[in-house]
Amino acid sequence: MPQREAIVAVLRRADRVLAIRRGPTVSRPGYWQPLSGKIEPGETQEQALVREVHEEVGLTVSPGAKVWQSETDDGHFRLHWWTADANSGEVVPDPVEVAETRWVTPQEFLALTPVFEGDREFFERILPTL
């Protein structure tokens, strides 16, 4: 199976990042992570970022910059990590995909459980340099 492309949205509001807990009907339910989603055919990374954020939490955002690239632990997806500012608006989670949302500091994210190792690496190693 060829590797698919996906985006990870690092949505920032002041010193916090939006974390979501995966909904019960998606793969690996219950995990905490930044918002993410597949890049559809013909879509740019920036377009996927805007679409996924709107679909999953109802926010309208402008892409910032691509800040990292990684792979999922199963190797099925190449993840393109993008910043985006979420300065206003209310988070309205899609209950099918998102069980819960929290604006967290990097330290608070690292205390959540369970989290993916790649996400932990981002919050420990990459985010402090941004």
- Separation of alpha carbons 19 and 6, rounded Å: 17
Could you read off the pLDDT of 81-126 as tens digits, one per residue?
999 987 678 999 999 999 999 999 999 999 999 999 999 999 999 9
- 7 near 117, Cβ under 8 Å? no
Domain that holds residue 75: 4-129
Helical segments of the chain, H only: 45-57, 106-111, 117-121
CATH assignment of the domain containing 94: 3.90.79.10
Count CB-CB contacts under 10 A for residue 66. Answer: 14
**Looking at residue 116, what DSSP letter applies?**
-
What residues contact residue 90 under an 8 Å CB cut-off, 6+ apart? 58
What pLDDT does residue 93 have? 96
Question: Model confidence over 17-39: pLDDT tens digits?
Answer: 999 999 999 999 999 999 999 99
Whether 63 contacts 82, CB under 8 Å: yes
- The reported pTM is 0.94
Domains held by the chain: number: 1
